[in-house]
Chain A
Amino acid sequence: MPNIADPILIVLLLTNFFILGTANLRASIRAVALQGILLSILPLQIESQATIRLVLLVLVTMVIKGFLIPMMLLKALRDVHIRHEIEPYLGFVPSLLLCVAGTGLALLFSDHLPLAAADRGSMFVPASLATLLAGFLVLTTRRKAISQVTGYLMLENGIYVFGLLLYQAMVVEVGILLDLLVGIFVMGIVLNHIQREFSSLDTERLSRLREER
């Protein structure tokens, strides 16, 4: 089987840049969906035999990460009539530059990590770290609740890539999928309520609770 992992992981890194650079919320949700689909086919590279577990893992990941959650977010987006992320706490260009720097560091840093022989020189570790970092950037620098969920999903995607290195440990992906399914489900409900209560998904409005001095 040809090496499909490296091209996939490179596209993953490119989608990170895209999400950090765009103000269009719909486009960034679609990019996260693309990430989910890309990640779901990665296990095919690790396991060459078509076991039931492999097929199930690919399908379930693809449905949840690639379709279910993005569709839920898109629906939330339609309901509140917002399209753009306005005035992030950190501008698009600086956050993009930070992401580029972080990705570069992740690539350099991974060479010095004590990795198992099989993982040396593969893109898995740097791509995982870079995606984690990009997710964290989106999570902390964006105002809209939907953007924050997007960032959280990227964070999860980064962790998922690292989890694939431990493919033998069965329970790893169970944890990841459970987290995604239930976590986003509850976040979805809360998003829905925020939108109804505040008629907006701007977390800036969520600022009543703070220390008054």
Chain B
Amino acid sequence: MILALVVVPLVGALVTFLVPKDSVRPWFVAVAAAIHTAITFTAAATSPSGTLADWLGLDAFGRVVLMVVSSLFLVCAVYSIGYLRVRAERPNRIFCTSLLIFLTTTTTVILAQHLTVMWVAMEGTTLTTALLLYFNQNRRSLEATWKYLMIGSVGIALALLGTLFMAYAALIGLGDPTLVFPDLVRRASHLSQPWVRAAFVFLFVGYGTKMGLAPMHTWKPDAYGEAPGVVGALLAGGLTSCAFFALMRIYMIVVAAGQGDFARELLVAFGLVSMGTAAALMVRQRDFKRLLAYSSVEHMGILALGIGIGGLATYGALLHIINNALTKAALFLAAGNIHRAFKSKRLEDVTGAMRRLPVSGGLFLAGFFAITGSPPFGPFISELLILIGAVNAHRYGIAAAYLTLLFIVFVGMGHTVLAVVQGTPPEDAEGIHYRESLLKTLPIVASLAVVVLMGVWIPAPLARLLHEAVRLLGG
């Protein structure tokens, strides 16, 4: 069953590549995505054993993140049927194939029980994402792709060095350079401590670059700004969650090795810096897609901060992975529709989205309230739990900084979002013929519905999984 999670999207990618017609290809992506989601949820409900000499496996934390990534991908796959119909002038063979390879590689990151396998899969996500970013094939998207590729590759190179350091820690401490994850956790106390610390620093910078934590976030606004909305959704919800997951794998080893305090201090520091950087750049932001990119930086900061605080905040951070991913998907997809309808993503040209596109405009506004932590949406609960966690741990300074930054983001983001949705749309806009369709709005409604659900009721099996995952993270 575990193997099927990797094989299904891979075979799907192959089939999609061979389909000759642009108009039917997106349907294959959606079907493969639906099968993947079905297997994921079955796998999460039962507990399948690992395969491939135990190089692939699924623990509680993995199940949570895999459910998020798989559902998010399904939402995006359905949306892209409608999106690619609008963009019929562009050939989509590479795009559709890359989408499914993206699903294959992200799934492999989550399943990997061997640090090298995880790293190779992470590298794979970098390469497929570069192809997705370049969909529009113009100068601006080329520039964004180049920046992403350079910064991402350097990050991934540093992560490789960190992985090698971890193997060296095992070589010195255990006499055998193992990189098998359960092995490392079990025998972590014998690892060479200085090398474990060095490994964590490099892996933190490496996978932190992929997450987009400040100050390694510089690729993010360009990439999210120039990519189609659906790619933005996949990156902000899927790729970043995956990178966070990879970092947490390393964190588990470091905690087991007895270096938890060191790691948590690093996470808190980078978490706050990311939130601060994002807040500063979100105030008076004139480009609503870049605004969402900085929001992604902010929420990666919140995840890091939550784990760094520990205790109840760990639970909050894990819950926030789900909330952030689905809310980001809704925001990016709605923003994509608005971008198409106004043929611009800057405030000078975009006003009155609510009138031009009642559904997408409304959902964009709702997504804004959700992501900034307003009740009754899910992020309210998870952000509150992180705050309570900080207070419980008597870290009042951090709690105060966290609240202040959340408030600044709310005001800054609100200013831009309200400017987009309110007012009257300009008469002369080119995209005046753009119509909303069910395929492009229903996926947004679906993901926001789950976000609302997470705000009022967390299903018992999910809560159990989350608690088990918290235990794995030593919280």
Q: A152-B153, A155-B157, A187-B149 are in contact. Are A208 and B286 (CB under 8 A)?
A: no
CB-based contact B114/A171 at 8 Å? yes
Question: Quick check: which of B221-229, B308-316, B430-438 contacts chain A, the rest being far away?
Answer: B221-229
Expressed in whole angstroms, the Cα–Cα distance for A80 and B471 within the complex equals 56
Expressed in whole angstroms, the Cα–Cα distance for A13 and B146 within the complex equals 29
- Range for the number of chain B residues in contact with chain A: 35 or more
CB-based contact A209/B286 at 8 Å? no
Which residues from B are CB-within-8-Å of A159?
157, 160-161, 164
Q: CB within 8 A of A206: which of B119, B147, B153, B225?
A: B147
Contact code string A158-175 (vs B, CB < 8 Å = 1, else 0): 010011011011011011
Contact code string B114-150 (vs A, CB < 8 Å = 1, else 0): 1011011001001100110010010110111111011
Q: CB within 8 A of B177: which of A168, A179, A213?
A: A168
Which residues from B are CB-within-8-Å of A178?
120, 123
Contact code string A18-38 (vs B, CB < 8 Å = 1, else 0): 000000000000000000000
CB-based contact B195/A193 at 8 Å? no
CB-based contact B164/A166 at 8 Å? yes
CB-based contact B172/A116 at 8 Å? yes
Which residues from B are CB-within-8-Å of A166?
164, 167-168, 171, 177
Expressed in whole angstroms, the Cα–Cα distance for A208 and B163 within the complex equals 35
CB-based contact B157/A209 at 8 Å? no
Which residues from A are CB-within-8-Å of B221?
209, 211
Q: CB within 8 A of A171: which of B116, B146, B226?
A: B116
Which residues from B are CB-within-8-Å of A186?
127, 130-131, 149
Q: CB within 8 A of B161: which of A132, A145, A203, A212?
A: A132
Q: A114-B194, A190-B149, A197-B139 are in contact. Are A183 and B164 (CB under 8 A)?
A: no
Which residues from B are CB-within-8-Å of A132?
161
Query: 8 Å CB contacts to B: which residues of A76-125?
Result: 113-116
CB-based contact B145/A209 at 8 Å? no
Point out which of B126, B167, B221, B222 has the most chain A C-beta atoms below 10 A from its C-beta.
Answer: B167
Closest B residue, CB atoms, query A159 = B161
- Range for the number of chain A residues in contact with chain B: 35 or more
Expressed in whole angstroms, the Cα–Cα distance for A102 and B160 within the complex equals 21
Which residues from B are CB-within-8-Å of A148?
150
Which residues from B are CB-within-8-Å of A162?
161, 164, 168
Let me know if B192 is at the binding interface, CB within 8 A: yes
Nearest-neighbour CB distance to chain A for B122, whole angstroms, equals: 10
Let me know if A56 is at the binding interface, CB within 8 A: no
Nearest-neighbour CB distance to chain A for B351, whole angstroms, equals: 19
Expressed in whole angstroms, the Cα–Cα distance for A186 and B120 within the complex equals 15
Let me know if B179 is at the binding interface, CB within 8 A: yes
Nearest-neighbour CB distance to chain A for B133, whole angstroms, equals: 10
CB-based contact A198/B139 at 8 Å? yes
Which residues from B are CB-within-8-Å of A116?
168, 171-172
Nearest-neighbour CB distance to chain A for B241, whole angstroms, equals: 23
CB-based contact B192/A114 at 8 Å? yes
The count of A-to-B residue pairs whose CB atoms sit within 8 angstroms is: 114
CB-based contact A183/B139 at 8 Å? no
Let me know if A71 is at the binding interface, CB within 8 A: no
CB-based contact B143/A182 at 8 Å? no
CB-based contact B153/A208 at 8 Å? no
Expressed in whole angstroms, the Cα–Cα distance for A159 and B168 within the complex equals 13
Which residues from B are CB-within-8-Å of A155?
154, 157
CB-based contact A208/B146 at 8 Å? no
CB-based contact A206/B146 at 8 Å? yes
Expressed in whole angstroms, the Cα–Cα distance for A168 and B222 within the complex equals 41
Q: A183-B123, A197-B142, A208-B139 are in contact. Are A175 and B147 (CB under 8 A)?
A: no
CB-based contact B120/A175 at 8 Å? yes
Expressed in whole angstroms, the Cα–Cα distance for A177 and B225 within the complex equals 32
Which residues from A are CB-within-8-Å of B226?
209
CB-based contact B139/A182 at 8 Å? no
Closest B residue, CB atoms, query A151 = B154
CB-based contact A190/B146 at 8 Å? yes
Closest B residue, CB atoms, query A182 = B127
Contact code string A115-149 (vs B, CB < 8 Å = 1, else 0): 11000000000000000100000010000010010
Nearest-neighbour CB distance to chain B for A138, whole angstroms, equals: 12
Nearest-neighbour CB distance to chain B for A202, whole angstroms, equals: 12
Expressed in whole angstroms, the Cα–Cα distance for A9 and B177 within the complex equals 23
Nearest-neighbour CB distance to chain A for B406, whole angstroms, equals: 22
Which residues from B are CB-within-8-Å of A176?
160
Nearest-neighbour CB distance to chain A for B23, whole angstroms, equals: 26
CB-based contact A190/B130 at 8 Å? yes
Expressed in whole angstroms, the Cα–Cα distance for A187 and B154 within the complex equals 12
Closest A residue, CB atoms, query B119 = A175
Which residues from B are CB-within-8-Å of A145?
146
CB-based contact B194/A156 at 8 Å? no
Expressed in whole angstroms, the Cα–Cα distance for A198 and B146 within the complex equals 13
Which residues from B are CB-within-8-Å of A209?
140, 143-144, 147, 221-222, 225-226
Which residues from A are CB-within-8-Å of B163?
175
CB-based contact A169/B167 at 8 Å? yes
Which residues from A are CB-within-8-Å of B168?
116, 162, 165-166
CB-based contact A190/B177 at 8 Å? no
Let me know if A8 is at the binding interface, CB within 8 A: no
CB-based contact B150/A169 at 8 Å? no
Closest B residue, CB atoms, query A156 = B157
Nearest-neighbour CB distance to chain A for B268, whole angstroms, equals: 27
Let me know if A5 is at the binding interface, CB within 8 A: no
Can you show 9 pairs from A to B with CB atoms below 8 A apart? A116-B171, A139-B150, A165-B164, A166-B168, A179-B123, A206-B142, A208-B143, A209-B144, A209-B221
Closest 6 CB pairs of A and B: A169-B177, A171-B116, A209-B222, A206-B143, A166-B177, A166-B167
Q: What would 4 more interface pairs be, CB under 8 Å, given A193-B142, A212-B286?
A: A159-B160, A165-B164, A209-B140, A209-B226
Q: Which A residues are closer than 8 A to B by beta carbons?
A: 113-116, 132, 139, 145, 148, 152, 155-156, 159, 162-163, 165-166, 168-169, 171-172, 174-176, 178-179, 182-183, 186-187, 190, 193-194, 197-198, 203, 206-209, 211-213
